[in-house]
Structure 1
Amino acid sequence: MKKKVQYLVDGITKDIIAYLMKDNNLDLPSAVSLFHNSETFEKLSDESTGLYIESSAYVYEILKVELKMGKIL
């Protein structure tokens, strides 16, 4: 993964982990594990999806749907 893409993925990941901690009352290790084991994180890390150029809030909405439905729609 290119450095610029990795930087953007890291920034979104940091924000989403903070959202998970706040919205779901999770501790840091639980929030990290939840996100890193999600299909959303897999797609975010895949440069070909272009998801890394979206806002953290947009990616978080995708994650919330995945967590509710068990998959990305």
Structure 2
Amino acid sequence: MNKKAQYLIEGITKDIITYLMEDHDMTMPVAIVMFHNSETFEKLSDEATGLYIESSAYVYEILKSEIKMGKIK
């Protein structure tokens, strides 16, 4: 993975963990585990999807949909 993609993925991950903590009153460790075990994180980490160039808010909307549908592993 190139450094620019890695940097963007890390930034989005940081933002989403913050959103989870604020919106769902989670602790940081719980939010980290939840996001890292999601299909959304899997897709974000795959450069081929191009999801890493989207905004954090956009990626969070995908995660919220995944949570609503109950697909978190």
Q: Report the TM-score when normalising by structure 1.
A: 0.95
Q: How many residues align?
A: 71
Q: Residue 56 in 1 paired to residue 56 in 2? A: yes
Mark the runs of 5 or more structure 1 residues left unpaired by the alignment.
none
Consecutive aligned runs of 4 or more in structure 1 exceeding 6 Å deviation: none
Equivalent position of 2:66 in the other structure: 66
Matched, 1:15 2:15: yes
CA offsets 1:14-69 (integer angstroms, 9 cap, x no match):
00000000000000000000000000000000000000000000000000000000
Task: Give the aligned partner of residue 43 of structure 2.
Answer: 43
Normalised TM-score (structure 2):
0.95
For 1:37 and 1:2, the matched residues in 2 are separated by: 23
1:70 deviates by: 2.4
Higher relative contact order (CA 8 A, sep 6+): 2
Q: How well do the aligned residues superpose, as a CA RMSD in angstroms? A: 0.6
Alpha-carbon separation, structure 2, partners of 1:37 and 1:18: 16
